[in-house]
């Protein structure tokens, strides 16, 4: 008998032995499950800045795990070798215990679920995060936030922070670029923002001529300021041609500069350029003192005293201890 998957808003009806749209969830014994539980495509030690999270334990190392598949279909996917691959194309398995042991052995206080969409391998993420938390580690997720609210409520229960890829700010864009919908992502963002002590940052990849329209960006920044607050860090990253979007050029530096200025004018306090040679230092929104200097993924904390600006005493949002 076929079964319906409720992990994400697609709600795929899956025939026995077939796969849902993400390519990895299947119908087995009348229920939906991940076809190859615990299968990973990659494990690396990354600086937390690479996720990117700029206000969560800056300078810490994150043991970063990826699996296969994705429940969005972005034309310009920059990880398509693993996001568009199904489980049958390789990979390796590690138990949660082995992952935790590896993190501890390599002085990684954080486990990051990243590289492909963690929502579609939710059960393994959940089990590993729970064990990691009991072992004194932190868990963070890099996600497009395309989950149902019911999934988010159990999936994020042991997750401490996330960077959510808000791909653009119109339903038309989500449909044509990612074959998805915007509204469910906004609901997940509001849910994550409501979790006590959960740390959230946002990334938007600016794609020339596709989602970099001033009006669309203005709507996005106004929504972020109104619903998630002006202190939420926002990463504005430059696109480069990839996958099925080889005809779109790289994002000009001026586009990132212009978008950053627009976000600042709307009141967002922490805007970080990505994939371009522009300063991504963290500065105090009150006195402009440089708090954290950044060169690539290397950081130096120069102007902070615990959670505060060392110059004016302003409390800086984030997890710094």
Query: Crossing angle, helix 183-194 and helix 214-227, to 10 degrees?
Result: 30
110 contacts: CB under 8 Å, gap ≥ 6: 48, 57, 60, 61, 62, 63, 103, 137, 138, 139, 140
Please, what is the minimum distance in Å from the beta carbon of residue 9 to ligand SF4? 7
Using CB under 6 A, pick the residue from 12, 27, 112, 217 that binds ligand SF4. 12
Using CB under 6 A, pick the residue from 54, 61, 71, 255 that binds ligand SF4. 71
| 10 in contact with ligand SF4 (CB under 6 A) | yes
Closest residue to ligand SF4, judged by C-beta, is 20
Q: Which residue, 4 or 106, has its beta carbon nearer to ligand SF4?
A: 4
Query: Crossing angle, helix 253-266 and helix 214-227, to 10 degrees?
Result: 40
Using CB under 6 A, pick the residue from 3, 18, 25, 43 that binds ligand SF4. 25
Stretch that binds ligand SF4, among 10-18, 126-134, 209-217, 265-273 (CB under 6 A): 10-18
Q: Which residue, 15 or 265, has its beta carbon nearer to ligand SF4?
A: 15
Q: Which residue, 120 or 309, has its beta carbon nearer to ligand SF4?
A: 120
**Binding-site string for ligand SF4 from residue 203 to residue 232, where x marks contact by CB under 6 A and - marks none:** ------------------------------
Please, what is the minimum distance in Å from the beta carbon of residue 37 to ligand SF4? 14
| 8 in contact with ligand SF4 (CB under 6 A) | yes
> What is the helix (H) or strand (E) element at residue 215, kind and residue range?
helix 214-227
Q: Which residue, 150 or 265, has its beta carbon nearer to ligand SF4?
A: 150
SS3 per residue for 274-292? ECCCCCCCEECCCCCCEEE
Q: Which residue, 25 or 84, has its beta carbon nearer to ligand SF4?
A: 25
Alpha helix segments (H runs only) across 228-284: 253-266
Chain positions 88 to 127 lying near ligand SF4, rule: CB under 6 A, are 120
| 5 in contact with ligand SF4 (CB under 6 A) | yes
- Backbone angle region of 280, left / alpha / beta, with phi > 0 → left and psi within -120 to 50 → alpha: alpha
113 contacts: CB under 8 Å, gap ≥ 6: 65, 125, 128, 129, 139, 140, 141, 142, 143, 159
Interface with ligand SF4: number of residues (CB under 6 A): 12
76 contacts: CB under 8 Å, gap ≥ 6: 177, 205, 207, 239, 241, 242, 243, 244, 245, 248
17 contacts: CB under 8 Å, gap ≥ 6: 26, 27, 28
Stretch that binds ligand SF4, among 21-29, 52-60, 197-205, 292-300 (CB under 6 A): 21-29
Q: Which residue, 61 or 67, has its beta carbon nearer to ligand SF4?
A: 67
Q: Which residue, 22 or 299, has its beta carbon nearer to ligand SF4?
A: 22
| 22 in contact with ligand SF4 (CB under 6 A) | yes
Q: Residue 270's closest CA among 260, 257, 278, 255? A: 260
Residues that bind ligand SF4 (CB under 6 A): 5, 7-8, 10-12, 20-22, 25, 71, 120
């Amino acid at each position: 008998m076929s079964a319906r998957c409720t992990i994400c808003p697609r709600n795929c009806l899956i025939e026995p032995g077939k796969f849902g749209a993400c390519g990895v969830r299947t119908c087995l014994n009348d229920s939906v499950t991940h076809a190859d539980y615990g299968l990973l495509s990659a494990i690396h030690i990354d600086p937390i800045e690479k996720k990117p999270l700029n206000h969560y334990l800056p300078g810490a190392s994150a043991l970063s795990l990826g699996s296969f598949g994705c429940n969005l279909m972005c034309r310009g996917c920059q990880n398509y070798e693993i996001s568009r691959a199904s489980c049958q194309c390789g990979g390796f398995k590690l138990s949660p215990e082995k992952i935790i042991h590896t993190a501890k052995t390599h002085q990684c206080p954080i486990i990051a679920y990243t590289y492909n969409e963690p929502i579609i391998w939710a059960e393994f993420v959940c089990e590993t995060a729970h064990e990691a938390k009991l072992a004194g580690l932190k868990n963070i997720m890099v996600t497009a936030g395309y989950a149902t609210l019911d999934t988010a409520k159990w999936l994020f229960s042991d997750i401490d922070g996330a960077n959510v890829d808000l791909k653009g700010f119109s339903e038309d864009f989500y449909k044509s670029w990612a074959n998805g919908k915007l509204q469910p992502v906004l609901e997940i963002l509001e849910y994550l923002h409501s979790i006590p002590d959960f740390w959230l940052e946002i990334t938007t990849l600016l794609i020339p001529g596709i989602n970099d329209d001033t009006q669309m960006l203005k709507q996005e920044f106004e929504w972020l300021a109104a619903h998630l607050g002006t202190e939420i860090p926002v990463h504005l990253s430059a696109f480069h041609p990839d996958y099925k979007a080889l005809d779109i050029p790289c994002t000009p530096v001026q586009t990132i500069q212009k978008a950053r200025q627009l976000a600042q004018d709307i009141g967002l306090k922490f805007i970080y350029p990505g994939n371009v040679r522009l300063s991504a230092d963290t500065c105090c929104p009150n006195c402009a003192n440089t708090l954290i200097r950044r060169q690539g993924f290397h950081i130096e904390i120069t102007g902070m005293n615990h959670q505060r600006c060392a110059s004016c005493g302003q409390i800086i949002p984030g997890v710094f201890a």
